[in-house]
Structure 1
Amino acid sequence: MYVRVSTSNQVHQQTIDQQLDRLRAHLQAQDLTLTDQNIYRDDGFSGARLNRPGLDHLRDAIRERSIDRVVLTAPDRLARNYVHQMLLLEEFEEHGCQVEFLDRPMSQDPHDQLLLQIRGAVAEYERTLITERMRRGRQAKLRAGVLLPWTRAPYGYRLHPDRPRDPGGVVLEPGEAAVVAEIFALYLEPQVSLLQLARTLAERHIPSPGGKSVWAVATLHGILTNPAYTGQVYTGRVRYRPPRIRRSATHPIGRPHESRIPVPRAEWIAVATVPAIVATEQFDLVQSKLAKNRCFSQRNNTAHPYLLRALVSCGYCRYACIGRTAVRSPYSYYMCSSKLKWAMLGREPCHARFAPAGQLDDLVWRDLCEVLTHPAELTRALERAHGGQWLPQELQARRENLRQGRVSLGQQIDRLTEAYLHDVIALPEYERRRRDLEQRDQALAEQERQLSAQADRHEELAGTAIAIENFCARVRAGLDNASFEQKRQLVELLIDRVIVTDTAVEIHYVIPTDRSSEHVRFCHLRTDYLDGPVGTHRAGQFLGREHARADVEALLELGRLVADEALRDNATDRLAPRPQRGVDFAAAGHGPTHLQDGPTVAAFDVLEARAGCKRPPLPRPLTLAQTLSI
């Protein structure tokens, strides 16, 4: 059974239990009972999206062929989008699962199929109509000043318990309001940044809005940019769009957040007035300072060239590494960014060493040139990831064996029928033997179908391998005389992440397999976040087709550990610890502790040789787009 409701209101009103009661009564009439393990439910998930945990578990179970029938109350419980409904129904049918709707049992009759399609289109139209009416009604109330845009009051305010959306019920929380006023005053002091402000609040033991002992920089930025503290509530200050890049290259996928896009102030809608905490002049000064400090952000610091900028991660705490060059010194390093965030994170220092930027850049560039010079290694990695090299003669032999097996079973069925017609065997014995032979024939037919699918996949992978070799041949000619800008462009395209753990360097390569994907970075494809069924891509021109079936089981994620023996000779003399401005080289050990931080640095001695490949486990199967990741 699969049940779903769209809003938390419906969850509280127990409407999902009403669906369960109807479905249980329907099954009891057929003398069937189901355990809780066979009930898949989504509480508070919209039917317009396929990213639902209960539906994902149901689809996984159907793909494993552990379910042969799914019962729902109505088609709109499965999906509100007609296209989504058709994709799910086709997917269930391919894996031998029958779908039954309680409101009207559907069959393969053309009239029933037409009715199902009409109902799906009507459900999609109904949802769009309801959404638009609710949006217009909410907008009218906001313009009239009778509805607050908040689902939760900003820090420093309290809502009326009986009228939480009434602007007249907003009052100040004296303790929090004092903290907000202090935050604005502290930030206006000279040489104070958001990070320093977070450290100051932590040192004063002022809890954050979430009750934590440390303040996040994003929380402080949200407070300092909220015009409600001047006494005027606005709505429509931001709009949201789907995210375009990954949140992290090393962390699990998780649940993606939409990106906030600021809206010009002239388009804001004034809703109501509330008690003010700061003056308008003070708020404007804070906005000016924020805009000025934005220019000095680390992401805008391009004074020193780093070939692997924004591509290096710490192997211990998995945080990104930033480039840092010592003052009045030629030495540059990649430093774990958590070393600067230890006060904000409220954790012990990270003991990861600084990676010398020059040597790491040279090492990665040489290995990249080696990979492009010998593309046969990429082809072997592709074959290993899909179960080893596939031989055409082996394919033909297995196909012939299956064909002969099915022919032999057909002959046995014919002889068995002749024996029954001549009264050699009785009817019960004939039915039993024929049933066994037909089951064996179905098993061989299924093996033959899987073999054909593997053959088609092999042809696709062969074409992918040819495309990879052609790409390497085109790029190889300019490797020797490439400028820094050209190297940087190639590194951004072909390297997804470089993970440094003391003396080991792990490089994750991504090789374009289509000309259209040679102009976009792998992290911009976002196939792991796209809102659609598994195997359906919506990355536009980079994926080639709008609805591609999941013929490839997983996106290739192989790690390549590389090293440079030449670094052993002079690493100790050249990379001795040297004092840097603002960095203490004196204290503390260097044990591998997670999410730690601190102002200590040790020399990055050597990149030790560790040859070989590995394939880390994936959190869930992804799909090969137009990029091979090794």
Structure 2
Amino acid sequence: MPSTNSHGPKRAILYARVSTDEQARSGFSLRQQIERLREYAAQEGHEVLEEVVDPGQSGASLERPGMDRVRDLVAGEAGDVSVVLAQDRDRFSREPAYTYLLRREFEERGTILRALNDRGDESPEGELTDGILDQLAKFERAKIAERSRRGRARKAQEGKVVAGRSTRYGFKLNSARDGYEVEEKQMAVVRGIFGMAAEGTALRAIKLILEAENIPTPKGARFWDRSFFRRCVLDDIYRPHSFEEVVAVVRPEVAAALDPSKVYGIWWFNRRRMTSRQVSEPSENGRRYGKKYTSYTKPKEEWIGVPVPDAGIPRELVDAAREAVIDNRAPSRAGRRFWELSGGIARCAQCGRRMRTIYRTKQRKSGLRRTYGYYKCPGFHDNGVEGCANRRTVSATSLEAKVWRFVKTVMMDPAELIEDLDRMIDLKRREERGDPRKEARVWVEELAKLERMRDGYHDQTAEGLMSTQKLREKIA
């Protein structure tokens, strides 16, 4: 890349990012990036203000703690920042639009966004060159992802299991990693789950039984999630299917390799579509970062069935368990009361979880029954002191009254209300920065507002309510 000595940037921030997948696959480590950036900074005579890293963060979003730190430093926390350095352009972002947004944001502060593999310079032609190369890189990544998707689908159509991050509970991958084998220790637990469910045992009772027996979850955790039992019972991989049923969902060449006298489970490929995006929200200890997942079930004609070994659970037991849990869903809490502190407003001071609303019905001496609402930490409520030490139950009536008094006080104080609104607007702007679509929508709304105001001024002028001179002053 071109030297920056002639431009005289001296104060630099070093930025490195790596996602978990990249680190595991190629060893593209944070340390290697930082060492390379230190060498370049020393060569160019830059003073390194701070080294910022984003471990395990995707480049598909700007919602990253390290990147937020860089933007805050450039915005004024560190004084004048001359340049932000990264080893490669895609360390800033894998989306060209986000990289462009960062470049313009930093330029307003007199800061240069620079990668060691930049091919152009700061001229319009140089920016055009880098922009074209970014788009070509994005296109190539999309093509690689599409080829990978087609390859996985072809593998499933050949009757092979597509290995993922985890296997179905009760199974393990074979030596070739393209098929399942029964893992007897775990499968014994699965059979016990089906047996208890078929007998009408509540899902919470199944959870407590497994935890009392110190049986770890599929991921090795202490506490079981009740939703797992329902998904397990409804999964076709544990239900025995006859040869004729399997033949109906697989290709002829796959069916030809099966034993007609045996039964098989069915593992479905391409059954669900899941997407994730990086999100952040303000908290008492700064911003809290996480991922938001969205999933949906695809049309059944898009599913690809792969036969797997029989789980050893009688079909009658599977059907009985399914009948017992098919309608076993947690009822909605909405509508039980006029309002409640939902959406994470009330949080546990011990573990930070969102407080859960629970209800208890008590009978008075008169015989009338009354329902009372409370807030309780879900960690303690579900798993006892091992889940969270906060065993306190807070009266909904008392807590909500305190919240309402606070809100009412703020609403009746115009000065404080204006100050809070300004703070909220600033927070909203911070949340929207980093997403070109959101920022574009905001600007479109602002332009539309100005257009309406201008039309209003013209109408007033046409009706003689405003002079031409006044009109010029308004739209200047």
- Does TM-score exceed 0.5, indicating one fold? yes
Contact 2:358–2:375 (CA under 8 A) maintained in structure 1: yes
**CA distance in 1 between partners of 2:210 and 2:178 (Å):** 32
1:538 is the counterpart of 2:444: no
Give the corresponding residue for 1:262: 297
Residue 180 of structure 1, CA deviation: 0.9
Residue 355 of structure 1, CA deviation: 4.0
Give the corresponding residue for 1:322: 358
Q: Go from structure 1 to structure 2 and tell me whether the alpha carbon gap of 1:126 and 1:148 turns closer, same or farther (over 3 Å shift).
A: closer
**CA distance in 1 between partners of 2:86 and 2:279 (Å):** 36
- 1:174 counterpart letter in structure 2: E
Give the corresponding residue for 1:293: 328
**CA distance in 2 between partners of 1:534 and 1:103 (Å):** 23
Give the corresponding residue for 2:188: 178
**CA distance in 2 between partners of 1:86 and 1:323 (Å):** 51
Contact 2:74–2:106 (CA under 8 A) maintained in structure 1: yes
Give the corresponding residue for 1:274: 309
**CA distance in 1 between partners of 2:91 and 2:109 (Å):** 20
Give the corresponding residue for 1:419: none
Give the corresponding residue for 2:392: 351
Q: TM-score, with normalisation over the residues of structure 2?
A: 0.67
Contact 2:152–2:162 (CA under 8 A) maintained in structure 1: no
**CA distance in 2 between partners of 1:158 and 1:115 (Å):** 49
- 2:113 counterpart letter in structure 1: V
Give the corresponding residue for 1:418: none
Stretches of structure 1 that go unaligned for 5 or more consecutive residues are 388-456, 462-525, 549-630
Give the corresponding residue for 1:2: 15
Give the corresponding residue for 2:236: 227
Residue 90 of structure 1, CA deviation: 1.1
- 2:308 counterpart letter in structure 1: T
Between stretches 308-317 and 41-50, larger displacement belongs to 308-317
**CA distance in 2 between partners of 1:171 and 1:259 (Å):** 30
Give the corresponding residue for 2:271: 237
- 2:123 counterpart letter in structure 1: D
Deviations 1:423-447 (A, max 9, x none): xxxxxxxxxxxxxxxxxxxxxxxxx
**CA distance in 2 between partners of 1:529 and 1:178 (Å):** 51
Q: Go from structure 1 to structure 2 and tell me whether the alpha carbon gap of 1:142 and 1:378 turns closer, same or farther (over 3 Å shift).
A: farther
Q: Which of 405, 410, 413 pairs up with 1:377?
A: 413
Deviations 1:489-511 (A, max 9, x none): xxxxxxxxxxxxxxxxxxxxxxx
Deviations 1:177-234 (A, max 9, x none): 11110011111223x2211211222233433334444322233334333322232211
**CA distance in 1 between partners of 2:309 and 2:303 (Å):** 17
1:52 is the counterpart of 2:68: no
Deviations 1:540-592 (A, max 9, x none): 97x675899xxxxxxxxxxxxxxxxxxxxxxxxxxxxxxxxxxxxxxxxxxxx
Stretches of structure 2 that go unaligned for 5 or more consecutive residues are 1-13, 240-264, 448-476
- 2:339 counterpart letter in structure 1: L
Residue 132 of structure 1, CA deviation: 1.8
**CA distance in 2 between partners of 1:268 and 1:248 (Å):** 40
Give the corresponding residue for 1:166: 178
**CA distance in 2 between partners of 1:195 and 1:18 (Å):** 48
Counterpart of 1:306 in 2: which secondary structure? coil
Return the structure number with greater relative CO, CA threshold 8 A, min gap 6. 1
Pairwise mapping of residues 86-125 of structure 1 onto structure 2 (< 5 A)?
86-104=100-118, 106-125=120-139
- 1:269 counterpart letter in structure 2: I
Give the corresponding residue for 2:211: 202
1:15 is the counterpart of 2:28: yes
Counterpart of 1:132 in 2: which secondary structure? helix
Residue 142 of structure 1, CA deviation: 2.0
Q: Which of 361, 375, 381 pairs up with 1:336?
A: 375
Residue 158 of structure 1, CA deviation: 2.3
Q: Go from structure 1 to structure 2 and tell me whether the alpha carbon gap of 1:291 and 1:319 turns closer, same or farther (over 3 Å shift).
A: same
**CA distance in 2 between partners of 1:25 and 1:316 (Å):** 45
- 1:133 counterpart letter in structure 2: R
Contact 1:156–1:180 (CA under 8 A) maintained in structure 2: yes
Residue 377 of structure 1, CA deviation: 2.3
Give the corresponding residue for 1:451: none
Give the corresponding residue for 1:488: none
Deviations 1:114-167 (A, max 9, x none): 22222222222222222222222222222222342532122222224x53x311
Q: Go from structure 1 to structure 2 and tell me whether the alpha carbon gap of 1:364 and 1:244 turns closer, same or farther (over 3 Å shift).
A: farther
The structure richer in strand per residue is 2
Residue 89 of structure 1, CA deviation: 0.5
Contact 1:339–1:349 (CA under 8 A) maintained in structure 2: no
Contact 1:145–1:271 (CA under 8 A) maintained in structure 2: yes
Residue 109 of structure 1, CA deviation: 1.9
Residue 88 of structure 1, CA deviation: 0.7
Deviations 1:51-99 (A, max 9, x none): 3343333323322245322233443332222211110111222222223
Q: Go from structure 1 to structure 2 and tell me whether the alpha carbon gap of 1:198 and 1:39 turns closer, same or farther (over 3 Å shift).
A: same
Contact 1:85–1:120 (CA under 8 A) maintained in structure 2: no
Q: Go from structure 1 to structure 2 and tell me whether the alpha carbon gap of 1:352 and 1:10 turns closer, same or farther (over 3 Å shift).
A: closer
Residue 309 of structure 1, CA deviation: 4.5
Q: TM-score, with normalisation over the residues of structure 1?
A: 0.53
- 1:320 counterpart letter in structure 2: R
- 1:334 counterpart letter in structure 2: G
Number of matched residues? 395
Q: Go from structure 1 to structure 2 and tell me whether the alpha carbon gap of 1:187 and 1:528 turns closer, same or farther (over 3 Å shift).
A: farther
**CA distance in 2 between partners of 1:366 and 1:18 (Å):** 53
Q: Go from structure 1 to structure 2 and tell me whether the alpha carbon gap of 1:527 and 1:326 turns closer, same or farther (over 3 Å shift).
A: farther
Alpha-carbon RMSD across the aligned residues, in angstroms, is 4.4
Give the corresponding residue for 2:256: none
Q: Go from structure 1 to structure 2 and tell me whether the alpha carbon gap of 1:529 and 1:286 turns closer, same or farther (over 3 Å shift).
A: farther
- 1:290 counterpart letter in structure 2: V
Percentage identity across aligned positions? 24
**CA distance in 1 between partners of 2:280 and 2:53 (Å):** 29
Residue 246 of structure 1, CA deviation: 10
**CA distance in 1 between partners of 2:319 and 2:58 (Å):** 40
Counterpart of 1:292 in 2: which secondary structure? coil
Deviations 1:439-494 (A, max 9, x none): xxxxxxxxxxxxxxxxxx9xx99xxxxxxxxxxxxxxxxxxxxxxxxxxxxxxxxx
Higher-Rg member (1/2):
1
